[in-house]
Chain A
Amino acid sequence: MDVGALGVYLCLFLALYFEVFLLISYLEKKPSAKTAAKPAYYPSVSMVVPSYNEEKTLAQTVHSLLALEYPKDKLEILIVDDGSKDNTRSIGEALAREQTQVRFFHKENGGKYTALNVGIVESKAELVGCLDADSFVAPDALLEVAKKLESDPTIMAITPVMKVYHPRKLLEMMQAVEYTFGIFYKKMFDNLSAVNVLPGPFSLYRREIFSTIGLFKHAHNTEDMEIAFRMHKYGLKIANAHTAFVYTTVPHTVRALVKQRTRWSQGFLQNARDYRYMFFNPRFGNFGMLVLPFALAAFFAGIYTAFYALFHMLNYVWGKVADMLATHIPPHIPAAHLTWFYIDTNMMLFVVIAVLGLTFTTIFLGQRISETRLGVSSFISYFALFGFIAPLWLVRAAWGAALSQESRWR
């Protein structure tokens, strides 16, 4: 066995261990089904909508918030225009004029975290939420969040279930699968008290925590990740409301996707560096012992296996070309052996089957949790595309983090 294959086995072992760990967690505590119950108490909520050049989706985003099944006097919407160069400002101002629940703020461009902080400072509500202007919420999402918060007063922040909004193109369908097993991961991280990110679409915070931990920071353009790290630092509980659905638009070109994921991945690496003392530190529970180390391991395992596969593929192709040039054998289809005997059934094949089996299981469970149905085309696009595209952002992010280049929000 070549040394490179040993590295692949190590990556597979880690992947399998992580999946098994999460499945054990699932069996220990299965997510409860959605009920028609209403919360006994409706906390006041300010939803901040940070906007930068969002003229196409801002109105739809705000209208989805206005359509929330929640007492109107308990919900206000704060649109913060972060110095947009398109018509975002005029659209936001018009919405504020038309809707009494909407307030509009305009500021010089300073990045998403500054827009969020304006909203937090302007808010007087018990809960402060964020909804990116490219996302839309299900009408009962806030009710579900309120119920979850009511069930456990120690929850200080809460994330929803994120689904891809109308996936139609191959790249969007690929991301729909990715988001679906992300739903399972997020719920299991909740079980383990180890939620690692409070994503922009519809994460809510009890407002008092900001006086304890401070406002959002630049945090390498991943303020939603950093604030989760910071909350773990202060021992504040983050939960996942798996019955609250939010729909987000996703990049539909490879270029845009790689750019977005490079920002996320590089942000993770840089925040991990800032919070390195949390790694393998039992004081931070499963977040420090499992989620952070495995997220970092997955990052480098992705790069390693991609380069390993690329090296072997190029080596094979080059070998064939060199053989053809040396022997002058014309291109031809070699005789096929159609019996099991000739199938390469080494140990790695069965380990990969196990990893894929558990991956399908997590996607299936993610579908059950989120009441989603993925089509065959989604699975085909995921398994055909992800392995080729993901290494691009992983390598770019590693390169950027190594050189400490800041990735761009937009």
Chain B
Amino acid sequence: MVWKRYVLAFAITAAIFVTAFYIASRLDSARVADIRATEDSISIDILSSETQFELLGNLDCQTIAQNSGLSDELNSLASQLSVAERNLGDTNPEVIQLKKQYSLLEIKDYILLQNITEKCGTKPVYVLYFYTNSGTCTDCSRVADVLTYLRSEYPGLRVYSFDYNLDLSALKTLISLHKVSGAALPAIIVNNRAPVYGPQTLESMQTLIPEFATLATSTQATSTSGY
């Protein structure tokens, strides 16, 4: 019996495991870089829309409304963040940082939407959705599923999702402005109305959003993440 063979086999096996770990880590890093690049791109787009809004005021609402649709990009970003959170864990500092940046972008897009609505008289349909990652919130993921499904049915629906417990002052301000309680999450706010808490079915959500009657339906698939 040759002991050297046992040691060599162990070393090679361990090396394969280390290589697998390295490749997986590199791909996760590439994903994080991808998300960061998308966030930067969206950030520039929002800044551009804000600048355009300030330049044009309400003189050319049609142009502003056409160029302010960042909802799809944000929702795609949310899906990517879900993947990063699944792979790296929701306590990973890099993931938390990306989520903060994402939440800020959402808030900026939401404010821009409010301004356009006010000045141009548009009638968007939007939902602020607050969820929690602490503990197991089955209702949160189910409400996310319902919103994802509704977005695929009504592409005009805008969904802004926020991790209620994210340590971000702008988010805390938004929460206090809308008087959202963290005791009974998930919570949804439709078009700035009072928060509605707890689980929702497809029918109850459709009742909460009567504006669906004004939105065009589509079979085109879009997505909303579990955020």
Contact = CB atoms under 8 A, between A and B. Distances in A.
Interface stretch (B52-60, B105-113, B121-129, B198-206): B198-206
Contact of A17 (B13, B20, B86): B13
A24 B149 contact: no
Interface of B is mostly: helix
A21 interface: yes
Interface string A310-353: 00000000000001001111001011110001101111111100
Contact of B83 (A282, A334, A335, A342): A342
B142 A346 contact: no
In this complex, the member of A16, A286, A332, A336 whose beta carbon has the largest number of chain B beta carbons within 10 angstroms is A16
A326 B201 contact: yes
Contacts of B221: 335-336
A25 interface: yes
Contacts of B148: 334
A326 B138 CA distance: 10
Interface string B148-175: 1100100000000000000000000000
A25 B5 contact: yes
A354 interface: yes
A409 interface: no
B121 to A, nearest CB: 32
Given A21-B9, A345-B24, A351-B16, A337 B202 contact: no
A297 to B, nearest CB: 14
Interface string A205-226: 0000000000000000000000
Contacts of A21: 5-6, 9
B138 to A, nearest CB: 8
Contacts of A342: 79, 83
B13 A16 contact: yes
In this complex, the member of B145, B148, B199, B203 whose beta carbon has the largest number of chain A beta carbons within 10 angstroms is B145
A27 to B, nearest CB: 11
B6 A347 contact: no
A30 to B, nearest CB: 16
B146 A341 contact: no
Contact of A341 (B10, B21, B34, B200): B34
B197 to A, nearest CB: 16
A347 B149 contact: no
B97 to A, nearest CB: 18
A354 B1 contact: no
Contacts of B86: 344
B80 interface: yes
B177 interface: no
Interface residues of A, number: 34
Contact of B202 (A289, A327, A348): A327
Given A13-B17, A351-B16, A24 B146 contact: no
A334 B144 CA distance: 13
A285 interface: yes
Contacts of A24: 5, 8-9, 12
Nearest to A9: B17
A20 interface: yes
Contacts of A17: 9-10, 13
A348 B223 CA distance: 28
Given A13-B13, A335-B222, A341-B83, A347 B201 contact: no
B27 interface: yes
Interface in B77-121: 79-80, 83, 86-87
A346 to B, nearest CB: 6
A350 B149 CA distance: 33
B184 interface: no
B31 interface: yes
B149 A335 contact: no
Contact of B201 (A20, A290, A327, A344): A327
A285 to B, nearest CB: 5
A53 B133 CA distance: 65
A25 B1 CA distance: 12
B31 A323 contact: no
Interface of A: 13, 16-17, 20-21, 24-25, 28, 282, 285-286, 289-290, 323, 326-329, 332, 334-337, 341-342, 344-351, 354
25 contacts: A13-B17, A16-B17, A21-B5, A24-B12, A285-B1, A286-B1, A289-B6, A323-B145, A328-B201, A329-B146, A334-B148, A335-B152, A335-B221, A336-B221, A337-B79, A337-B223, A341-B80, A342-B79, A344-B86, A346-B87, A349-B20, A349-B24, A350-B19, A350-B20, A354-B20
Interface of B: 1, 5-6, 8-10, 12-13, 16-17, 19-21, 23-24, 27-28, 31, 34, 79-80, 83, 86-87, 141-142, 145-146, 148-149, 152, 199-203, 221-223
